[in-house]
């Protein structure tokens, strides 16, 4: 009987101990959850503060800069540091990317369908017909440069903007071929020509984009290749009695 009583007391003590242990575990879990919630709250607050401090305020932009961006035409009336009209500087900047204009045009042609390309060529046929030496240039391309495809209207005669030429390179050139070779250096940058034949010749070329009159054009934009090649062509013209 005593054994049974002792066993009963032990079981009761064990159950009471388990109950307290569970209560402690629940309290520990509850405390842990609360700590985590507080930590997450602090973390969110920290992130919010970092984001706020990292935002760029558009209103901090200088009013002068904003005016220049929104009203560029008004700034054309301002004088530059050297006392020249800033509109002239703007023209020089545009000319400075003259070749990039042609590059964009090449990209545009790459994306054309065959029908669109043919239409572009046909639109410029009138200029070919009104250039007295157009067929002479085409003949030179075919006979000397061995160019017989459509590139006759999408590329200049020579790569005078990328490499140096010597007088020997022009030994088979007629007067008009040299005239075109020299002036296509300017045409790459959109120079407009008063000479009717030159004007019509270049307007027949898909790579040509007329942009600047002789008065507007700034020759200082020419690179070293172009400057040296102009001199070489001049010398070739003199040697052949064309000048």
Tens digit of each residue's pLDDT, the chain (243 residues): 444 444 444 444 444 444 444 444 444 444 444 444 444 444 444 333 333 333 233 333 322 322 332 332 233 333 333 334 444 454 444 444 445 445 566 566 667 787 888 888 888 999 999 999 999 999 999 999 998 888 888 899 999 999 999 999 999 999 999 999 999 999 999 999 999 999 999 999 999 999 999 999 999 999 999 999 999 999 999 999 998
- Within 10 A of 124 (CB to CB), how many other CB atoms are there? 16
pLDDT of amino acid 121: 84
Domains contained in the chain, number? 1
Tell me, yes or no, whether 9 lies in a domain. no
21 within some domain: no
Look-up: residue for tokens 């309290």? 27
Residue 170 lies inside a defined structural domain of this protein: yes
Q: Of 185, 152, 180, 181, whose CA–CA distance to 169 is shortest?
A: 181
For residue 148, is it within any domain? yes
Report how far residue 164's alpha carbon sits from residue 172's, in angstroms, rounded to the nearest whole number: 17
Helix ranges (DSSP H) in the chain: 2-54, 63-70, 72-75, 86-96, 98-110, 114-123, 125-129, 134-143, 175-187, 196-203, 224-239
Q: At what angle do helices 98-110 and 86-96 cross, to 10 degrees?
A: 40
80 in any annotated domain: no
Q: Rounded distance, CA 77 to CA 132, Å?
A: 43
Which residue, 207, 164, 159, 201, is CA-closest to 180? 201
pLDDT at 176: 98
Residue 157 belongs to domain spanning: 88-239
Which residues are CB-contacts of 240 (< 8 A; sequence separation ≥ 6)?
173, 175, 178
Query: Would you state the pLDDT for residue 149?
Result: 84
pLDDT at 161: 96
What was the pLDDT predicted at 212? Answer: 96
116 domain-assigned: yes
Q: Assign residue 193 a region: left if phi > 0, alpha if psi is -120 to 50, beta otherwise?
A: beta
Q: Does 131 reside within a domain?
A: yes
Q: Do the domain assignments include residue 67?
A: no
DSSP 151: G
């Amino acid at each position: 009987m005593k054994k049974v009583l002792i066993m009963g007391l032990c079981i009761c003590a064990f159950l009471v101990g388990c109950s307290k242990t569970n209560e402690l575990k629940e309290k520990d879990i509850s405390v842990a959850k609360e700590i985590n919630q507080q930590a997450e709250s602090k973390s969110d607050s920290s992130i919010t503060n970092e984001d706020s401090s990292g935002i760029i305020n558009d209103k901090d932009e200088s009013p002068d800069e904003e005016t220049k961006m929104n009203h560029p035409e008004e700034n054309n009336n301002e004088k530059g540091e050297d006392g020249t009209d800033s509109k002239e500087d703007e023209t020089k900047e545009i000319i400075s990317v003259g070749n990039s204009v042609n590059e964009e045009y090449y990209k545009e042609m790459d994306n054309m369908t065959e029908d669109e390309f043919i239409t572009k060529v046909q639109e410029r046929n009138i200029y070919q017909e009104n250039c007295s030496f157009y067929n002479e240039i085409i003949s030179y391309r075919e006979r000397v440069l061995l160019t017989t495809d459509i590139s006759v209207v999408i590329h200049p005669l020579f790569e005078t903007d990328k490499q140096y030429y010597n007088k020997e390179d022009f030994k088979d050139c007629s007067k008009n071929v040299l005239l075109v070779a020299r002036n296509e250096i300017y045409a790459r940058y959109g120079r407009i020509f008063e000479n009717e034949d030159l004007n019509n010749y270049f307007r027949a070329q898909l790579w040509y984009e007329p942009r600047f009159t002789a008065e507007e054009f700034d020759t200082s934009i020419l690179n070293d290749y172009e400057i040296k090649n102009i001199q070489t062509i001049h010398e070739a013209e003199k040697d052949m009695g064309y000048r």
